[in-house]
Structure 1
Amino acid sequence: MKKILNIDNMPREHIDDPDFQSKMQTLLIGNALGCEKIYVNIDYVKPGGKSVKYHSHSKQEEFFLIMQGSGLLRMNGEEVSIKTGDVISKPAGQEIAHQFINNGSEILQILDAGTREKDDIATYPDENVVFIRNKGLVFDIKDCMKGWTSDPNS
């Protein structure tokens, strides 16, 4: 079934922070349209705000278009200036840590699209956290077991 939606009339249940009280608001466009294999969001990041916590994905492919504003893209430990019209690809299967930072004076508007991957694992290197997304499980990397093996004969 084809569904058409105008982002100016986005249902509140498909908006993270619908009153835009925090530093970031996200329109969950793909969810509102019923997309199953991809997600499509528009992120609005206020000056001084960050898009997400610095993280990587084990399987998810992502694409970003800077629709408005300027800022920094923090990617794999480097910071790169970004501006309106820039496009960024984060290929699948490469754990590339990323985060957008609005160091400008206007709202940074980002089209954020990617694949929905059932067994995707997100890693948050700043916090030493691993998040198994489809299970909702969060682990502290510092608490990992040393010397464990899957070999039943060891």
Structure 2
Amino acid sequence: MNNISNIDNIPKEYMYDPDFQSKLKTILIGDAIGCEKIYVNIDYVKPGAESTKYHSHSVQEEFFLILSGEGLLRIDGEKIIIRKGDVISKPAGKDITHQFINNSSEILQILDIGTREKDDIITYPDENVIYIKDKKLIFNINNSIKDWTSEPNE
């Protein structure tokens, strides 16, 4: 695999919705050129669409750069206006809930870089869902076990 490429030469197999028929197109640049410890993506979010579901990570660190467009960053219950040139960090282990929303009339383009972390647990509070990514396990928070304890002597 070549570790040098041009964004225009990334094969379609490294893209979600390469023809941009839906509301979100993602180019997996890091995967295409062989990044192992980080992922590097460019997300293209159409007007009225969202980049992801509102979520947080237990251990993954992320960095975002708004390449073009404008919209909202929904983060920890707040909505903040974002535009071209804005940079956002989401430090590791902080469980910062986040999502980008394109409420403008142009495409929102986001450079998304993050660490690949073993045992990262992703929480989707709007849906009460927990996702253990490495194990591909999904749990509904509302289906809890009553009266369970980790205490061995009770």
Name the TM tier (shorter chain): over 0.9
Q: Which residue of 1 aligns with 2:86?
A: 86
- Over the matched positions of the two proteins, sequence identity in percent amounts to 69
Deviations 1:94-131 (A, max 9, x none): 00100000011111000000100011000000000000
Q: What SS is found at the alignment partner of 1:80?
A: strand
1:67 is the counterpart of 2:61: no
Equivalent-residue separation in structure 2 for 1:153 and 1:11 (angstroms): 57
Q: How far off is 1:71 after superposition?
A: 0.1
Aligned CA RMSD, in angstroms, stands at: 1.0
Aligned residue pairs total: 154
Residue 124 of structure 2 aligns to which amino acid in structure 1?
A: Y
Q: Under a length normalisation based on structure 1, what TM-score does the superposition of the two structures give? A: 0.97
Q: Which residue of 1 aligns with 2:119?
A: 119
Equivalent-residue separation in structure 1 for 2:22 and 2:2 (angstroms): 33
Equivalent-residue separation in structure 2 for 1:144 and 1:17 (angstroms): 36
1:144 is the counterpart of 2:114: no
Q: Which residue of 1 aligns with 2:10?
A: 10
Q: Which residue of 1 aligns with 2:106?
A: 106
Residue 153 of structure 1 aligns to which amino acid in structure 2?
A: N
Deviations 1:35-69 (A, max 9, x none): 11100000000011100000000000000000000
Equivalent-residue separation in structure 2 for 1:147 and 1:31 (angstroms): 44
- Where does structure 1 lack aligned partners over 5 or more consecutive residues? none
- Where does structure 2 lack aligned partners over 5 or more consecutive residues? none
